[in-house]
Amino acid sequence: MSTIFHSSSPRYPDVFSYLKLLLQPGFRSFSVFFIITFSILIYLGTWQVLRLEQKNILISNVDKALSEKPRPLDEVMNNIMEKKQNANYKPVIIKGVFEKNTHLKWLMQTHDGKLGYHYMALLKCNFGGVVLVDLGWVPMENDPRAIKLPQKEITFAGILKTISGRTPYTPDNLYGKNEIFDVDPLEIAGAKKWPTLLPFYVSHVTEGLSFEKFPHQEPFVVRIRNQHLGYIFTWYSLAIAWVFCFIFYMRRRLNDQNKSIFYK
């Protein structure tokens, strides 16, 4: 039996061949799957581009806020309310007296790899409000009641923060034991019945207040993760690789079809 050739060489696929293949019943579902998957990858990459822009703006705003000269807390509060500024990372100067027998233990805090807590104290400001102050790290075995706070009016500088933030894995605060796992002044004011508590707290006292040993005041460091550029590269690279896989698969299908026609 002899083989009959319809042409002297195989037919190479052109653009119309690819379009025709896309509409074939056996290939239509795979084409839809490719389009949906490719769209998702492009969406994820584009979303990371937007997140990168937002994160760069956030870092720029933090750097700008920290570069400002510390100003009295009441003055900063007026600017926050009148100009609708963000209170986070504003350097402030505070003047007031620490209230007796009022403290919170901010648990699960580490220093040099050792577990402890941050000692949070209430300070009655000279203009009448009450603010929560993070005085620094204390070893877990140290009794917070043994910490001696100044009982006279004191002036010091620190950094404002509105909320510490929590994750789905953060335990609930135990206000009955004066133990917290995240700092939310509005929540604390309601739970502890402190109606005059200001809606932010002071973190990392920078000057004007020191202790002999504990609480240990650590230097202020802003840790803002910014890995979005790597995520952008990952999602867009996967999208490009997926396109090449799709083209390779299409070419292989077309070549198989052409071979079957050529050798009939």
Query: In total, how many domains does the chain have?
Result: 2
Are 76 and 164 members of one domain? yes
pTM reported for the whole predicted model: 0.69
Q: Please report which confidence band the pLDDT of residue 10 belongs to, taking 50, 70 and 90 as the band edges.
A: very low
Are 193 and 118 members of one domain? yes
* pLDDT of 259 over the 80 cut: no
Are 80 and 199 members of one domain? yes
Examine residue 14 and state whether it is found in any structural domain, yes or no: no
Please state which of the ranges 5-14, 101-110, 236-245 shows the lowest mean pLDDT. Answer: 5-14
pLDDT in tens, 167-190: 888 899 999 999 999 999 999 999
Examine residue 168 and state whether it is found in any structural domain, yes or no: yes
* pLDDT of 22 over the 80 cut: no
Are 164 and 233 members of one domain? no
Q: Please report which confidence band the pLDDT of residue 48 belongs to, taking 50, 70 and 90 as the band edges.
A: very high
Examine residue 110 and state whether it is found in any structural domain, yes or no: yes
Q: Please report which confidence band the pLDDT of residue 15 belongs to, taking 50, 70 and 90 as the band edges.
A: low
pLDDT in tens, 78-133: 887 777 777 788 899 999 999 888 889 999 888 888 999 999 999 999 888 899 99
Examine residue 114 and state whether it is found in any structural domain, yes or no: yes
Closest CA to 37 of 246, 251, 263, 256: 246
Examine residue 132 and state whether it is found in any structural domain, yes or no: yes
Are 150 and 127 members of one domain? yes
Residue matched to tokens 């220093």? 111
Are 62 and 137 members of one domain? no
Contact 154, 96 (CB under 8 A): yes
In order of 90, 156, 195, 221, 225, the CA distances from 63 in angstroms are: 10, 21, 32, 11, 14
% of the chain beyond a pLDDT of 70 = 85
Examine residue 165 and state whether it is found in any structural domain, yes or no: yes
Domain of 242 in residue numbering reads as 30-67+229-257
Angle subtended by helix axes 15-22 and 25-66, to nearest 10: 100
Are 85 and 132 members of one domain? yes
Are 93 and 141 members of one domain? yes
Q: Please report which confidence band the pLDDT of residue 9 belongs to, taking 50, 70 and 90 as the band edges.
A: very low
Examine residue 146 and state whether it is found in any structural domain, yes or no: yes
Q: What is the mean pLDDT of residues 128-156?
A: 89
Are 236 and 188 members of one domain? no
Q: Please report which confidence band the pLDDT of residue 16 belongs to, taking 50, 70 and 90 as the band edges.
A: low
Q: What is the mean pLDDT of residues 46-61?
A: 89
Are 77 and 190 members of one domain? yes
Are 85 and 167 members of one domain? yes
